[in-house]
Structures are given as C-alpha cells and as structure tokens.
Amino acid sequence: MKEIYDKLNYYLNEICKYLEKENAFLLENIYAISRLNDEVLKHIEDYRLDNKTKQNKLTFEDVFLLARKIIASIDKSYLESFDNLIKSGELDFSFESAYEDSVCISMHRKNQVKQIININREFNYNDVRLLVHEFIHYTNGKHISPNRHYFTEFLSIYFEFYTIDYLLKKGINKDEIDYFYRIKNIKGHSTVFFQYEIPLLAFIKFGNLDDNTISLLQQYLLNIKKETFEKECSILCKNLSLVEQNNREKIKDKSLGCVLSEEFITQNYRYILGTILAIYARKYANFDDIVHLNNHIGEYDNKSVYDICLSIGINIKDDQFLQKTFQALDEYVDSKQDCKKI
C-alpha cells in the first residue's frame, strides 16, 4: 500500500492546496458533511424512483412563455433580464443534444460579465424546469464570492422544486416532467462522495496517509475496517490518476489541484447540500426570504454559511435538522406519486 499512499498523498495535497483557496468550507466542515452524506445516502436508498417522462409537443416559444410566467411569480423584477435573453443571444436551446448538459456560464473579464444559458431540450416540461433553474444561476451569476459559490445550487434547486410544484398545480401530466430528478441527482452525487469522503477526511484531519491512519480513524472519528479503507484509497488513487491522464492539456493552464478538484470534489458536496437545504426550505422556510437571498447574495460576504442559513429560517445546527429534512423529503416523494418507501 505504500506506493498507493505516496501517490494519493501527492494528489490530496494538491487538491487541499486548491480547496484552501477556493472551497475552504469543505475543508473546515469535511467531517460534518461526510456524516450528513452518509445519513442522506442511507435514507434515499430506500426510495423507488422509477418514474419515466414522455416527450410532448412543447415548442421553444411554449417553454419560454411558461418559464416567463413562473419567473414573474418569483420576482417580477427578473422579467426585464429574462425577456432580453433571446435578443441578446444569451439563451440557446439545443435540438440534437449539442451540449453535454444544461448550464449557465458566467465569464468575468475585467469589469464586464458575459453570461450564456444553454439548455439541452428534452421536449417536455423538463425544459421549463431546466430553464428556470439556469436562469436563477443567471440572476446571481454576476457576483463573485465564496457565499455565492456555496449557495447558488441551493437557490436554483429551490426554485426548481417551486417550478415543479407550480406546473403540477396547473394540471400538467405527471409523466411529462421528471419530478424526481433532483432526488436521483443527489443520490448520484452522494454515492460518488461516499466513495472518497473517508480518504479525504483522513488526509485533512491527520495529514499524509500511511499504515497508521486506520488506527487514528478508528480511535478518533469512525469505525472502519482496514480492508475497507485500503480499498477506498486504492480506488480513489486510480480515479485521480485517470483524471490526471485525461486532462494533460488542462493542467498546462490550471493547477493539478484545480483540475482534480473540479472533476468531482468541488461539485458533489455543493449539490448534496444544495438539494438538502432546498427540500428543507420548501417545507419550513419563507419563500420571500429565499428570493431576498438570491437578490442580495453579493451583500453577504461578511456572513458565515451558518448565519446565512439562519437568515432564511434554516438552523443547520438544530438537533432536529436531519429529522426535519427527512420528513420534508418523504413528504415530497409521497406527494408526487403513490410512491412510499420500500
């Protein structure tokens, strides 16, 4: 294992140097995030999420106008920017899966910000869901700050849930929108995070990994078998090696730590936390408080993630937080179809 540990230590050191500058929240809260992730994955593994969506005859104009109604119901002040998307060329729909994914890209150059929304059409009401999600990114994308980075997925996912509820209340067919997409999405991110969280946690807490690391983990943090830890380290080392090999050109322009982190580490936990906070806020938080946060995210630079959550009615340190979250999650799943936990 020494060779694997040595190589993995090199990768994890590069990753942590990058995270220290760009994602300090993950480094500071790795243990709490890992425990939360374990509980979330255990809970959602019992869901039966086999809903299938059908295509329909929604046109580009249908999607745009329906999304416009939803945007107006969130905050009418957004309409000027939304209506300008087509004229400015900032919105594009693909018809042959031209894009890998639906995205909102914000490019900051000097004092100017250029934003583009690309939507991979699915030819059903998912197009509306995706457009609202990406437009919320668009509304806060002009701000460069750690808190915008941490909260932007939460905000987009929250209003994505709002969009689904809006459409279903208007009587659209349930089989024309993937109302479980975010639950399946968090399961995917949670599963990947689960595969590397312990080696990352051990490196952050105890430094370089070696044969003594397992005893430190067992003594201070969690009960894990030596064979399990070694297997997870081997898999992570192999995966990071593949990322390095497949991104030689990117590494010339970016640091190795940046490339390794961007491949999955900086994404997984934000989608996990974003979805958990969004499903909690859907049940317990005030809608107007979430809109206010989205509109003023650039003014929260002096506040911690904990304080920002408190400002919208979410106490992440509440002993009942996880229990309330799972109650909200169960209610959402049960309300969307006759789908109880197995």
Predicted TM-score (pTM) of this structure: 0.92
Mean pLDDT of 286-292: 97
pLDDT at residue 97, as a whole number:
56
Mean pLDDT of 283-293: 96
Task: Determine how many CB atoms are found less than 10 A away from the CB of residue 216.
Answer: 15
SS3 138: helix
116 forms beta bridges with 105
For residue 249, report the phi and psi dihedrals to the nearest 5 degrees.
-70, -40
pLDDT at residue 251, as a whole number:
86
Model confidence at 8: pLDDT above 90: yes
Q: What is the mean pLDDT of the chain?
A: 90
Give the chain's length: 342
Rounded CA gap, 62 and 68, in Å?
A: 10
Mean pLDDT of 194-213: 94
Tell me the two tokens of residue 67: 């999304």
pLDDT tens digits for range 56-78? 888 989 999 999 999 999 999 99
SS3 175: helix
Rounded CA gap, 165 and 328, in Å?
A: 14
pLDDT tens digits for range 221-263? 888 899 999 999 999 999 999 999 988 888 888 899 999 998 8
Alpha-carbon distance values, 36 to 31, 104, 146 (Å): 9, 28, 21
Rounded CA gap, 181 and 253, in Å?
A: 34
pLDDT tens digits for range 89-122? 889 887 655 556 788 777 777 677 788 888 888 8
